[in-house]
Amino acid sequence: MAKFPLETIRHSAAHVLAQAVLHFFPTAQLGIGPAIENGFYYDFDLETSLTDEDLNKIEQKMEEIIKENQQFTSYSTDKETANSFLKEKNQTYKLDLIDSLDGDSFTFFENGPFVDLCKGPHVEQTREIGAIKLLRVSGAYWRGSEKNPMLQRIYGTAFSNRKDLKSYLKRMEEAKKRDHRLLGKTLDLFSITEEVGGGLVLWHPKGALIRHLIESYWKTEHLNNDYDFVLSPHVGKADLWEKSGHLSFYEENMFSAIDVDDQKYYVKPMNCPFHILVYKNKPKSYRELPIRYAELGTVYRYERSGVLHGLLRVRGFTQDDAHIICTEEQMKEEIKSVTLFTINMLKAFGFEKIKFYLATRPDEKYVGEIAHWKDSEDALEEAIKSLGLPYEIDHGGGAFYGPKIDVKIEDAIGREWQCSTIQFDFNLPERFDMTYIGQDGEKHRPYMIHRAIFGSLERFFGVLVEHYEGNFPVWLAPTQVSILTVNEKVSHYAKKLASDLKQKGVRVDLDTSSEKIGYKIRKASAEKIPYMFIVGDKEVESNTISVRRHQKGDLGVMTVDQAFLSVLDESKTM
């Protein structure tokens, strides 16, 4: 077991990176260099653009520094001395950081000739960093603001040993092959164009069909689990967003207002206020609870262009949103039910490894009574325990308006993805004065639970593409069977097969072109179509089909009924 946590190793590696960069570029201005998930980065203001050759030289220098086994030591100084030192070094970005920090004492860490403003912690000696690898360079605005200078951000990763680094780099290579942006283009599923705008998705026919299949399954399962569907508009008056608190807490993530009839309207960033108004349309009795409203509601949120990433980070997306409104007595059973529902939904799409995190009340800045927080946290934890699920506590990780269960899924190459959230809300029921009439004839405040299983359809779709590497299970494949003809004479037979399959609900592509059969097979394989039915003179004479299964190869000759049954059976499997 490593002596230091990976976060400490990676933060130390970021300092070594900065030291190596200064060796080659002595006038470089330093930004920040934190550890991040799976690695670290450091931002630099340089006079020249870094090349792959530069990265190789910098990485080699880092290896030298690590072998030197430099000591990490720290000292603290007052603000005046810190400013004087950084001015002498001409580090203007560090001076900007000093100005933004509270306190009179500032910590610096040094290793060898390198000194950096930093809280730490670090390893004791550079050899304890282990194994490093620089990955890429990208642009990053100082402090994340487009009004500030663009810096060059060098990304890297570090592990305590070379074996772990090698394993990680192998996973990264596998991840490149699975990149949903590349597969989305290759398989003609979706596109994002500057003509429309960054973060706004155009769904192509095949992608839209897969999405339809996901939505249809989602709707069927929600009806089976006693949810009611609601629909809400894409915009709402400013007064609504004032009441919900979004204009106070979230306006920077909302698109600019639209003026209509001398009133301001905002494109919705969330569906919650609309669902609450449906609930408040008429008085509710305890006998009507719990109420479960569900909607595939498209919302719009402003994201900086630098963080947009295919379908995983967009500006317009459809949440598989639901709000459960219940009494205190119903709360625990509802949480248990929705947790089990979440597991079953995720497993239906092939995700077997699911992790749960219970995020509790923040230490500061929260709404609602502590007693309600305690009851809600207990209900969430009891639901997880009663289902025998392993979980971790994320102390203080809840939102200001309630505790939550975060659900992460592991994909085919071991990456974790945040998808589902089961979230209590003490804020909106108060703001909108939500009530129900209890058994005592008095008004009571209901509990409200936000819940999304996929998170958003766009992000979930992107995860699915990468999980399956575009090789969708038969039930999700946009084309399930491609019928390929060997020559023109058998076209009539092939068309009859296609017609019969379509009548049975199978999605079929018919290729009767004059291309050679080898080309047709390669084309269908590149499109990752699960089944290929190959038809030639022999198949017509014997009323059979030569069957190929994508990734498995030739399955041999089958009767028409056998081939059809094989597809139909597999298309029912989730």
Is position 404 annotated as part of the catalytic site?
Answer: yes
Nearest-angstrom CA–CA distance, 487 and 510 = 13
Nearest to 212 by CA among 438, 507, 425: 507
Identify the helix (H) or strand (E) that includes residue 375.
Answer: helix 370-386
Is position 323 annotated as part of the catalytic site?
Answer: yes
- 23 contacts: CB under 8 Å, gap ≥ 6: 61
To 10 degrees, the CA torsion angle through 298, 303, 309, 312?
-40
Is position 275 annotated as part of the catalytic site?
Answer: no
Given the residues 54, 116, 321, 411, select the one marked as catalytic: 321
Helix (H, G, I), strand (E, B) or coil at 283: coil
| Degrees, nearest 5: CA angle 541-546-550 | 165
Is position 321 annotated as part of the catalytic site?
Answer: yes
Given the residues 94, 404, 451, 467, select the one marked as catalytic: 404
Given the residues 178, 206, 323, 507, select the one marked as catalytic: 323
Given the residues 118, 272, 326, 419, select the one marked as catalytic: 272
- Spell out the long-range contacts of 204-207 with Cβ–Cβ below 8 A and sequence spacing 24 or more: 205/478, 206/478, 206/479, 207/461, 207/478
Given the residues 94, 332, 450, 528, select the one marked as catalytic: 450
Q: Residues for the chain: how many in total?
A: 574
105 backbone φψ class: left, alpha, beta (φ>0; ψ -120 to 50):
beta
Given the residues 29, 70, 152, 319, select the one marked as catalytic: 319
Residue 531 burial (C-beta neighbours within 10 Å; 0-12, 13-18, 19+): buried
Nearest to 468 by CA among 312, 347, 350: 350
Nearest to 333 by CA among 369, 398, 371, 380: 380
DSSP 389-448: --EEEETT-SBTTB-EEEEEEE-TTS-EEEEEEEEEESSHHHHTT--EE-TTSSEEPPEE
Is position 459 annotated as part of the catalytic site?
Answer: no
Given the residues 301, 336, 372, 548, select the one marked as catalytic: 301
Cis peptide before 283 (omega within 30 of 0): no
Give catalytic residue positions: 272, 301, 319, 321, 323, 404, 450
